[in-house]
Amino acid sequence: MLSSLLSTIKHDSILLGCVTFAAVFLIYLVVMQVNVYGYAKRHETQPLHYKFFRLYSKSLIKNAPSKSEKKFYNKTNKITYFFNSLILTVFAVFIFIWLK
């Protein structure tokens, strides 16, 4: 059953694109949860303005109550930028494959 699923995914580029997109999305969610968990474990509190897929403005980072929150927001921005660009790259590659 698993081999037939893998062969179907391998030959169907749209399904492969959806599976890849879902995998990148799930990896992003896990990485962000680990990031928040690590912050909460070290500082015994949650960041004030934390949300998935949120990019924090420079004014919010500058006015953050502590240096650790500033570092957290900067790190979260970098992770979000990376995964957003990865999702766009995956989307562009599979559009190119689909149009080919």
Range in 17-26, 57-66, 77-86 the model is least confident about: 57-66
pLDDT for 42 equals: 87
In this prediction the pTM is 0.76
> Is residue 27 scored above 90 in pLDDT?
yes
The CA distances from residue 33 to 36, 37, 56, in Å, are: 5, 6, 17
Q: What mean pLDDT comes out for the span 79-90?
A: 91
Show the CA angle centred on residue 76, arms to residues 50 and 90, nearest 5°: 115
Q: What mean pLDDT comes out for the span 72-87?
A: 91
Q: What mean pLDDT comes out for the span 82-89?
A: 92
Gap between the Cα atoms of 18 and 90, Å rounded: 10
Give the domain ranges of the chain: 2-99
Residues 33-74 have pLDDT tens digits of 999 888 888 887 777 667 777 777 888 888 888 888 888 889
pLDDT for 49 equals: 67
> Is residue 88 scored above 70 in pLDDT?
yes
Distance spanning both ends of the chain, measured CA to CA: 29
Find the length of the chain: 100
Show the CA angle centred on residue 15, arms to residues 10 and 21, nearest 5°: 105
